[in-house]
């Protein structure tokens, strides 16, 4: 079983839609959770960082961690064509990072 | 956050040759890493670059093929040796900063094509 699972998509939505991106993980010891955004032909860019459970909001982006379900989510409100990218979740514990496979998002104008 | 630069940004190389990729971080760094990313795929960790000692390689990657140096805290190189077309990929360096050791920041990547 992989440490972290992520639906690869692609996910296609109309501009203005609310997007929900999700990952599940297997090890309840994880405490640090991240979302990266990767545009085509670019390196991953740290988008959101969350410690432990709960929600964190930054503009149109909300990261949510449900440790009881071992489930993390990234919500994008009022999605824009510029949000079209691949989104990778990442978990960190004991000096080791685990990355999801990435979900490709396409926001259509 | 940090600014991480990589050189070259892309290259086209002949089979059997070697390419060295450089990575420079503009902040205080604890750990540096090298990843490979095939088009449309996720990240595969090649090795952790240790300052002043041999890199720590992941399963499936060996020092003879991917020698890594890290002569100081903020600089590292990855060499892809005796290249074959299967080595065509994006190579990314990343760093954990001294100010935020529970996240990683990535460079822009080096796009390598081997003919």
Residues in B closer than 8 angstroms to A23, CB to CB, are none
pLDDT averages per 10-residue partition of chain B, 115 residues: 92 97 93 91 91 90 96 95 96 90 91 96
| 109 residues of chain A, pLDDT tens digit each | 788 999 888 999 999 999 999 999 998 888 899 999 999 989 999 999 998 888 999 999 999 999 999 999 999 999 999 999 999 999 998 778 999 999 999 999 9
Residue A2: what pLDDT? 80
Give the C-alpha separation, B3 to B110, whole Å: 15
CA distance to partner chain B, nearest, from residue A56 (Å) = 16
Write the CA distances from B57 to A1, B33, B47, B49, B50, integer angstroms. 22, 10, 4, 9, 10
Contact A88 B42 (CB under 8 A): yes
Report the chain B residue with the minimal C-alpha distance to residue A96. Answer: B102
Contact A43 B92 (CB under 8 A): yes
CA distance to partner chain A, nearest, from residue B72 (Å) = 20
| DSSP letter for each residue of A12-76 | EEETT--EEEEEEES-TT--EEEEEEE-TTS--EEEEEEESSEEEEETTEEEEEETTTTEEEEEE
Could you say which residues from 53 to 112 on chain B have a Cβ atom under 8 Å away from some Cβ of chain A?
92, 102-109, 111
Residue A8: what pLDDT? 83
Q: Which residue, B53, B16, B49, B17, is CA-closest to B32?
A: B49
Structure confidence by residue, pLDDT tens digits, B40-69 = 788 999 999 988 888 999 999 999 999 999
- CB-based burial, B1-31: b 16+ in 10 Å, e otherwise: ebebebeeeeeebeeeeebebbbbbebebeb
Give the C-alpha separation, B111 to B23, whole Å: 14
Residue B100: what pLDDT? 79
Residue A107: what pLDDT? 97
Phi, psi dihedral angles at B87 (to 5 degrees):
-85, -5
* Chain A contact for B43 (CB, 8 A cutoff): yes
Tokens of B85: 């077309």
Could you say which residues from 18 to 77 on chain A have a Cβ atom under 8 Å away from some Cβ of chain B?
32, 34, 36, 41-46, 49, 51
């Amino acid at each position: 079983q992989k440490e972290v699972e992520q639906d690869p998509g692609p996910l296609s939505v109309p501009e203005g839609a609310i997007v929900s991106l999700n990952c599940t993980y297997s090890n309840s010891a994880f405490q640090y959770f991240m979302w990266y955004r990767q545009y085509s032909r670019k390196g991953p860019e740290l988008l959101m960082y969350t410690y432990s459970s709960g929600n964190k909001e930054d503009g149109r982006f909300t990261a949510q961690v449900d440790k009881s379900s071992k489930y993390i989510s990234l919500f994008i409100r009022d999605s824009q064509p510029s949000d079209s990218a691949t989104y990778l979740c990442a978990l960190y514990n004991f000096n080791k990072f685990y990355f999801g496979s990435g979900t490709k998002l396409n926001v259509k104008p | 956050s940090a600014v991480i630069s990589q050189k070259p940004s892309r290259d086209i190389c002949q089979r059997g040759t070697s390419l060295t990729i450089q990575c420079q971080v503009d902040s205080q760094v604890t750990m540096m890493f090298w990843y490979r990313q095939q088009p449309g795929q996720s990240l595969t960790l090649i090795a952790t670059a240790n300052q002043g000692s041999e890199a720590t390689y992941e399963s499936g990657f060996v020092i003879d093929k991917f020698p890594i140096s890290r002569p100081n805290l903020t600089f590292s190189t990855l060499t892809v040796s005796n290249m074959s077309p299967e080595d065509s990929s994006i190579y990314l360096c990343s760093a954990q900063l001294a100010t935020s050791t529970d996240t990683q920041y990535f460079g822009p990547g080096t796009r390598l094509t081997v003919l």
